């Protein structure tokens, strides 16, 4: 409601939209690097000194009660924001046919999302409490009990839709696709200078997780989450190391049932 009442979208605004643990950090880094590729030297890039969450504001964490949006006013155009909110919760003026905003959305195999959420939740769990079991996490996830609504409710229709698995498999092509969608395609000169390859390398899991700032037990904006908590494995199919065949089959069936109305599947 605060966004509806007080946020004034501009034609150049870019909203990175994800369900939690679907590679928000990676997409933040990629889009930031794409749109600012002429503003920063790759050898001394802000991503070498700060976690992507510090460079791309989290929409719902920064808009203040009472409608204050000073963080947006201070961001140079194009304004790049990140959110876990459902696409359907945004004001009509941001998502209709005359929308001023560009939404970039990434999804991920729900089995890998489940495992990532389980690890992440246990990292944040108070030490005096026992860890949450995988079985309990699986049961809650399948029932749709999740912060920011059930995983399957995150299915925006008027956005650039990316699959995590596709970005991992063809990162160069996906970076070019994002740049085209945002109206800043790579020029032949940039292609010859391997701008795309440099961005992919800079934003890779190996590169970002090795940055000193991302190894720190550093909290941000009174959060209990450390920078290092955002980097676990970044692999496709890690769920096979955690879920039983029966759990995987059950989750696949639920996913197919929930998404059949939009004709989408992960496989």
Residues 81, 16: Cα–Cα separation, whole Å: 6
Q: Residue 30: in which H helix or E strand, if any?
A: helix 24-35
Q: Residue 17: in which H helix or E strand, if any?
A: strand 14-18
Beta carbons of 111 and 248 less than 8 angstroms apart: yes
Report residue 218: phi and psi, to 5°.
Answer: -100, 125
| Residue 154 a catalytic site member | no
How far does Cα 111 stand from its chain's mean position?
17
Q: Cis peptide leading into 138, omega within 30 of 0?
A: no
Which among 6, 45, 64, 84 is annotated as catalytic? 84
Q: In this structure, what token pair is assigned to residue 264?
A: 């989408």
Active site residues: 84
């Amino acid at each position: 409601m605060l966004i509806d009442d007080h946020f004034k979208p501009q034609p150049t605004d870019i909203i990175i939209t994800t369900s939690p643990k679907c590679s928000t950090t990676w997409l933040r880094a990629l889009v930031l690097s794409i749109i600012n590729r002429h503003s920063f030297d790759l050898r001394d890039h802000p991503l070498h000194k700060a976690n992507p969450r510090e460079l791309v504001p989290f929409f719902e964490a920064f808009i203040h009660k009472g409608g204050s949006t000073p963080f947006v006013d201070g961001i140079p155009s194009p304004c790049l924001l990140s959110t876990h909110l459902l696409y359907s919760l945004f004001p009509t003026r941001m998502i209709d046919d005359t929308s001023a905003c560009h939404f970039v959305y990434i999804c991920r195999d729900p089995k890998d999302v489940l495992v990532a959420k389980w690890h992440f939740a246990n990292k944040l769990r108070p030490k005096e409490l026992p860890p949450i079991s995988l079985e309990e996490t699986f049961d809650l996830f399948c029932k749709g009990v999740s912060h920011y609504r059930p995983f399957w409710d995150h299915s925006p229709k008027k956005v650039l839709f990316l699959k995590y698995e596709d970005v991992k498999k063809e990162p160069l092509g996906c970076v070019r696709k994002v740049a085209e969608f945002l109206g800043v395609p790579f020029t032949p000169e940039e292609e010859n200078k391997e701008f795309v390859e440099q961005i992919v390398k800079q934003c890779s899991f190996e590169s970002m997780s090795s940055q000193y700032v991302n190894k720190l037990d550093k909290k941000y904006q009174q959060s209990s989450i450390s920078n290092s908590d955002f980097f676990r494995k970044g692999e496709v199919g890690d769920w096979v190391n955690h879920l039983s065949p029966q759990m995987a089959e059950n989750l696949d069936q639920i996913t197919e049932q929930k998404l059949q109305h939009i004709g989408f599947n992960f496989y």
